[in-house]
C-alpha cells in the first residue's frame, strides 16, 4: 500500500496516536505524518503510507489554514486551555479593535516559539526543559501570516481564521494578539482546515478508515504543484537504477512518469543545469 491519506484528527489524540491506530487498521508499519497537530487540535493531518513516507519533506513545505478560538483574560504555561494559569488580566476590547490588531499581524514577523513545543535546543526538546523547570532562552523564527480575519467575538472568546507559513505556532500567535489588545489570552480550540492543497472536506475520520470508507491520494495528485515529465523506456531504465540523466525539466525538481506511474523525483545536478540526479526514488529494481 503506497499513497497519501487525509485524516481529520479528533481532539485529545496526538499525531502519533493516529499513526499507531492506522498501523493496526491498515496492517503496515510504514506510516508517517506531516505537520504535527497538538492533542487539543483537530483537522487535517496528512498521512504518508509505504513509499510515500519518502515524500514527507515535500508535503510539509506548505502553507496551512486554521480556525482558532482564544479566551481573553488568562494565559497558561502551555499557551492553551490544557495548561496551568500563570497570569490573569482584565480586558476591555471591541470588534473594531480586534480587527485592527488581527490585521497588524499580516505579513512577515518574528515569533517566539512556545516553551511547551518539540523544537530542539542543544539536542533537547523545549518541553523537556519546561517539564523540569529549567529556564532557557526560547528560539525565535520568522513567520508569514498571509491572511487573517475575525469570524466571531462574544463575551471573552475570539474566533479567527488565518493562513500561515510552515512553522507558525497558533498558540504563540494568540499570545501575541492578546498582548496587542493589552491583555493576555490562551487558545481554547484549533482546527486545521487546510494544509497546502489538502482540505478538511476531503479528509476521513479513523472510524471511516476502520469501515474501509476511504481513498488514497496518488503521488501525482499530492504533488500536482510540481512539474511532471513523461520519460521513455531508455530513460526509465536509467532512472530505475538511480543514474544521472539529461535534465529535460525547467524547475529544480520534477516528477518522472513512466507508463502513467510516477517512478521517481529528480533534481537539478550539474552547474550548467544540463543533468539531473535522483532526489526521491519511488520504484527500484
| Residues with a known catalytic role | 38
The grid cell for 44 is 487535517
| Per-residue cell: 157 | 472568546
Query: How far is 64 from 35, CA to CA, in rounded Å?
Result: 9
Which stretches does DSSP call E strand in 79-197?
85-88, 107-112, 120-121, 124-125, 140-154, 157-164, 185-195
Cα 153 from chain centre: 27
Q: Show the cell assigned to 106.
A: 499580516
Given the C-alpha cell 523537556, which residue does it identify? 128
Phi, psi of 268 (to 5 degrees): -55, 140
104, 109, 130, 168, 222 from 171: Cα distances, Å:
17, 15, 16, 9, 28
Residues 6 or more apart in contact with residue 60 via CB below 8 angstroms: 34, 35, 166
**Are the C-beta atoms of 33 and 18 separated by less than 8 Å?**
yes
Segment holding 47, helix H or strand E: strand 41-49
Rg (CA), the chain: 22
CA angle in degrees (0–180, nearest 5) for 250-194-149: 110
Amino acid at each position: 500500500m503506497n499513497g497519501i491519506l487525509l485524516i481529520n484528527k479528533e481532539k485529545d489524540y496526538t499525531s502519533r496516536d493516529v499513526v499507531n491506530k492506522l498501523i493496526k487498521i491498515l496492517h503496515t508499519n510504514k506510516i508517517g505524518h506531516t505537520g504535527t497537530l497538538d492533542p487539543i487540535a483537530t483537522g487535517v493531518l496528512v498521512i504518508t503510507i509505504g513509499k510515500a513516507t519518502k515524500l514527507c519533506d515535500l508535503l510539509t513545505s506548505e502553507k496551512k489554514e486554521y480556525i482558532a478560538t482564544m479566551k481573553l483574560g488568562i494565559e497558561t504555561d502551555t499557551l492553551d486551555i490544557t495548561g496551568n494559569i500563570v497570569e490573569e488580566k482584565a480586558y476591555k476590547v471591541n470588534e473594531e479593535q480586534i480587527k485592527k490588531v488581527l490585521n497588524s499581524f499580516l505579513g512577515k514577523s518574528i515569533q517566539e516559539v512556545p516553551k511547551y513545543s518539540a523544537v530542539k535546543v542543544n539536542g533537547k526538546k523545549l518541553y523537556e526543559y519546561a517539564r523540569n523547570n529549567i529556564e532557557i532562552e526560547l528560539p525565535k523564527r520568522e513567520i508569514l501570516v498571509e491572511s487573517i480575519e475575525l469570524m466571531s467575538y462574544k463575551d471573552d472568546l475570539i474566533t479567527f481564521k488565518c493562513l500561515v507559513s510552515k512553522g507558525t505556532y497558533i498558540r504563540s500567535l494568540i499570545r501575541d494578539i492578546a498582548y496587542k489588545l493589552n491583555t493576555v489570552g490562551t487558545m481554547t480550540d484549533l482546527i486545521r482546515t487546510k494544509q497546502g492543497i489538502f482540505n478538511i472536506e476531503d479528509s476521513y475520520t479513523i472510524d471511516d478508515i476502520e469501515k474501509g470508507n476511504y481513498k488514497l491520494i496518488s503521488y501525482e495528485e499530492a504533488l500536482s504543484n510540481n512539474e511532471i515529465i513523461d520519460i521513455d523506456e531508455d530513460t526509465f531504465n536509467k532512472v530505475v537504477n538511480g543514474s544521472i540523466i539529461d535534465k529535460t525539466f525547467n524547475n529544480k525538481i520534477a516528477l518522472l512518469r513512466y507508463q502513467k506511474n510516477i517512478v521517481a523525483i529528480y533534481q537539478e545536478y550539474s552547474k550548467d543545469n544540463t543533468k539531473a540526479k535522483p532526489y526521491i526514488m519511488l520504484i527500484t529494481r
